[in-house]
Amino acid sequence: MIDINAVRRNTEGVQYVAHFNNAGSSLLPKPVAYAMTDYLHDEIRYGGYETMEKYQDDISLIYKHLAQMLNAQPSEIALLQSASLAWLKVFFSIPFRKGDKVLVSRADYITNYLSYLQVQERHEIEIEIIPDDSFGQTSPEALAKMIDSKVKLISITHIPSAGGLVNPVEEIGKIAKENGILYMLDACQAVGQMPLDVQKIGCDVLTATGRKYMRAPRGTGFLYLNQRLLDEKLLSPIFLDGRSASWTDEKTYTLQPNAQVFENFENHWGGLLGLGKATEYALQLGLENIWERIQMLSKNLRQQLSEIQGVNVRDRGEKLCGIVTFEMANKSPELILQALKAKNINVSLAKKQSTLLDMKNRNLESLVRASVHYFNTEEEIAELVGVIRKQ
């Protein structure tokens, strides 16, 4: 369903590297790069404010395309510099009180968990880890038993940065909705890799980055915010500026009535136009088609790696994604990474520091992480596996 030759012609980087670090930062397609450089060239010629004004119609399309991808409204989309900033801005706007409970997934990312700990120190909230099921994914059944009147928030990482699993976010969403509990979803590794529908998931907030499976530039992120949270005044936004609020009088101000209440006045609009073009590019290819090819390639890679003596594939989950993690007996992940790098094959390391609770629970310090995307080929997989066989 995807014309791989056309996709690879549009991806200059494949001439130089076999790129299996898409869970870190993917290769930009040419249309994304051109959208950015065209904007920057105009900024050089005409000035920053003037160029932003010139591109207002294109900027509006960013919201439209992201909303289309998530089955949301454009007014429910906010553009930011990173997924972490998007997540933090919403999380620290939740009016926590002493004794509130936050239920979280074991595989949460460092930024999220540090924030839980900060709020625990400031407001004496309780952090409770939702147990994993037999597949290693966050258990909806266990979650349902943890619900009581003190639960303020359910915070889930859709796809952890190490381990390959896809958490059952729709089942979790049903539990959150039935109990009227705020539900935040970190979808950094999911957006651009698979179809996402916030109506089916049932999340109130979804945050993501541009640089990973979206194939957008670094320094771009976005969030979906259910309009209900603002209409019912369930959040108290902080870090306001002239884009998120209006200064109405000496002692008064009004908030933006939509998700842009979490935006900043200062943005890298050239980069965000790249995000918009990347979203449009993914929509044209079709998220179902992208997801199907990623699953095929990652299954291929897992199978070939598992056939090598001494290699242990460490992915967990009933449903597996494009992130493939493995280790090798008598060979450190760092040395494997360097051996692959010497052959112009990009992978990365999944380190304990990033997902401490999950890695500690599995008694792991680090893993090799090879994250495939639809532009990868079976020939590139064979190259990667060939290097591993020789170690």
Here the tokens at position 351 are 């380190």
| Statement to judge: residues 17 and 39 lie in one domain | no
| Statement to judge: residues 19 and 41 lie in one domain | no
Cβ–Cβ < 8 Å for 79, 129? no
| pLDDT (0 to 100) of residue 48 | 97
Here the tokens at position 188 are 């950094």
| Statement to judge: residues 253 and 146 lie in one domain | yes
Residue 1 has pLDDT above 90, yes or no: no
| pLDDT (0 to 100) of residue 197 | 98
| pLDDT (0 to 100) of residue 33 | 98
| Statement to judge: residues 150 and 278 lie in one domain | yes
For residue 233, with 0-12 CB atoms within 10 Å meaning exposed, 13-18 middle and 19 or more buried, which class applies? exposed
- CATH number of the domain encompassing residue 96: 3.40.640.10
Residue 306 has pLDDT above 90, yes or no: yes
| Statement to judge: residues 325 and 340 lie in one domain | yes
Here the tokens at position 189 are 């590794």
| Statement to judge: residues 278 and 377 lie in one domain | no
**What is the total count of domains within the chain?**
2
Core vs surface per residue 140-152: b (16+ CB within 10 A) or e: beebeebbeeebb
| Statement to judge: residues 304 and 189 lie in one domain | no
| Statement to judge: residues 43 and 177 lie in one domain | yes
The alpha carbon of residue 87 and the mean position of all alpha carbons in its chain are separated, in whole angstroms, by 11
Mean per-residue pLDDT for 43-61? Answer: 97
The alpha carbon of residue 342 and the mean position of all alpha carbons in its chain are separated, in whole angstroms, by 29
Q: Name which of 11, 378, 87, 89 is nearest 262 in CA terms.
A: 89
Mean per-residue pLDDT for 104-115? Answer: 95
DSSP annotation string for 266-310: ---HHHHHHHHHHHHHHHHH-HHHHHHHHHHHHHHHHHHHHTSTT
- CATH number of the domain encompassing residue 308: 3.90.1150.10
Among 258, 284, 310, identify where a domain stops.
284
Residue-number span of the structural domain to which 373 is assigned: 4-27+286-389
Q: What is the pLDDT of residues 208-255, one digit of tens each?
A: 999 999 999 999 999 999 999 999 999 999 899 999 999 999 999 999
Mean per-residue pLDDT for 288-293? Answer: 98
Alpha-carbon span 324 to 180, nearest angstrom: 36
For residue 311, with 0-12 CB atoms within 10 Å meaning exposed, 13-18 middle and 19 or more buried, which class applies? buried
Among 284, 306, 328, identify where a domain stops.
284
| Statement to judge: residues 53 and 76 lie in one domain | yes
Q: Name which of 56, 65, 1, 54 is nearest 31 in CA terms.
A: 65
Residues near 357 by Cβ (< 8 Å), separated by ≥ 6? Answer: 106, 107, 108, 113, 129
What percentage of residues in the chain have a pLDDT greater than 90?
98
Q: What is the pLDDT of residues 174-190, one digit of tens each?
A: 999 999 999 999 999 99
Q: What is the CA radius of gyration of the chain?
A: 21
Cβ–Cβ < 8 Å for 80, 223? yes
| pLDDT (0 to 100) of residue 163 | 85
For residue 235, with 0-12 CB atoms within 10 Å meaning exposed, 13-18 middle and 19 or more buried, which class applies? buried
Q: Binning pLDDT at 50, 70 and 90, where does residue 379 land?
A: very high
Q: Name which of 18, 50, 23, 36 is nearest 209 in CA terms.
A: 23
The alpha carbon of residue 239 and the mean position of all alpha carbons in its chain are separated, in whole angstroms, by 23
| Statement to judge: residues 263 and 164 lie in one domain | yes
Cβ–Cβ < 8 Å for 120, 68? no
Alpha-carbon span 26 to 212, nearest angstrom: 5
Whole-model pTM: value is 0.96
| Statement to judge: residues 234 and 327 lie in one domain | no
- Tell me the C-alpha to C-alpha distance, in Å, between residue 287 and each of 128, 190, 260, 344: 34, 11, 26, 28
| Statement to judge: residues 222 and 329 lie in one domain | no
Strand partners, 228: none
Pairing of the two strands 151-157 and 101-105: parallel
Q: What is the pLDDT of residues 23-43, one digit of tens each?
A: 999 999 999 999 999 999 999
Q: Name which of 70, 84, 139 is nearest 112 in CA terms.
A: 84
For residue 384, with 0-12 CB atoms within 10 Å meaning exposed, 13-18 middle and 19 or more buried, which class applies? buried
Among 219, 250, 284, identify where a domain stops.
284
Phi and psi angles of residue 153, each rounded to the nearest 5 degrees, phi first: -150, 140
What does pLDDT average to over the chain? Answer: 97
